[in-house]
């Protein structure tokens, strides 16, 4: 990689890191471009050169978070033997995430709720949920349930419900409660 490309990549990463901290922590509407560039230590023009607009930055933030989050959850699932243990690993991972000091719920639900008229934000949120569904489908297919498609939808509801409950209610027990429900579903199947 050329030195100029490396610098551009570093600046882009700093901007995305700053956007992620600020947007996830405070919300997209509450955070202006000035706050992002100050946090990243770059000029405003640099942000516009890299992303074109605040909307472009929000889109890049969400796409990067999607990739990182699904990779993180996929790795947590892959770290255990295939089968029912992978179902439970989903909720163990969520429990660790919920316990993090900066936990602020699902970035995609948050942004879709904030930017209700943004077709792009909603499409990215929808794509993220489809990616999660694909991961959960793989988990369901590997655990020997009678109907993996139905089991996937049940897992999806448990995951989404746990995330929202942990965020809105501050309920630290949301992940173990959803894990227990998933274990019960496995026993019934």
- What are the structural domains of the chain? 1-52 (1.10.10.60), 54-188 (1.10.357.10)
Q: Give the whole-angstrom CA distance, residue 66 versus residue 51.
A: 18
Q: What is the pLDDT of residues 134-158, one digit of tens each?
A: 999 999 999 999 999 999 999 999 9
Local structure of 113: helix, strand or coil: helix
Q: Report the percentage of the chain scoring pLDDT > 90.
A: 93
Mean pLDDT for the chain?
94
8: confidence class by pLDDT, cuts 50, 70, 90: low
62 touches 125 (CB < 8 A): yes
pLDDT at 57: 97
CA neighbor of 115 nearest in space, from 12, 23, 41 = 23
Phi, psi of 64 (to 5 degrees): -70, -40
Q: Tokens 């027990």 appear where?
A: 173
Three-state helix/strand/coil letters over 128-151: HHHHHHHHHHHHHHCCCCCCHHHH
User: In the chain, what are the helix, strand and coil shares in percent, each to the nearest 5?
Assistant: 80, 0, 20
pLDDT for residue 5: 57
């Amino acid at each position: 990689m050329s030195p100029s490309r490396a610098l551009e990549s570093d600046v882009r990463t700093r901007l995305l890191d700053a956007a992620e901290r600020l947007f996830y922590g405070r919300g997209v509407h509450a955070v202006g471009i000035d706050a992002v560039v100050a946090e990243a230590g770059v000029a405003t023009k640099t942000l516009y050169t890299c992303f074109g607009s605040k909307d472009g930055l929000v889109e890049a933030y969400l796409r990067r978070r999607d990739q990182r989050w699904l990779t993180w959850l996929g790795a947590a699932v892959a770290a255990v033997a295939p089968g029912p243990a992978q179902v439970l690993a989903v909720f163990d991972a969520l429990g660790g995430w919920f316990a993090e000091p900066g936990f602020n719920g699902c970035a995609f639900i948050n942004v879709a709720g904030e930017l209700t008229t943004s077709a792009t934000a909603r499409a990215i949120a929808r794509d993220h949920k489809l990616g999660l569904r694909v991961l959960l489908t793989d988990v369901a297919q590997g655990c020997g349930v009678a109907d993996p498609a139905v089991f996937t939808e049940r897992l999806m509801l448990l995951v989404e419900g746990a995330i929202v409950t942990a965020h809105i209610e501050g309920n630290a027990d949301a992940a173990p409660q959803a894990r227990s429900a998933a274990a019960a579903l496995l026993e019934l199947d």
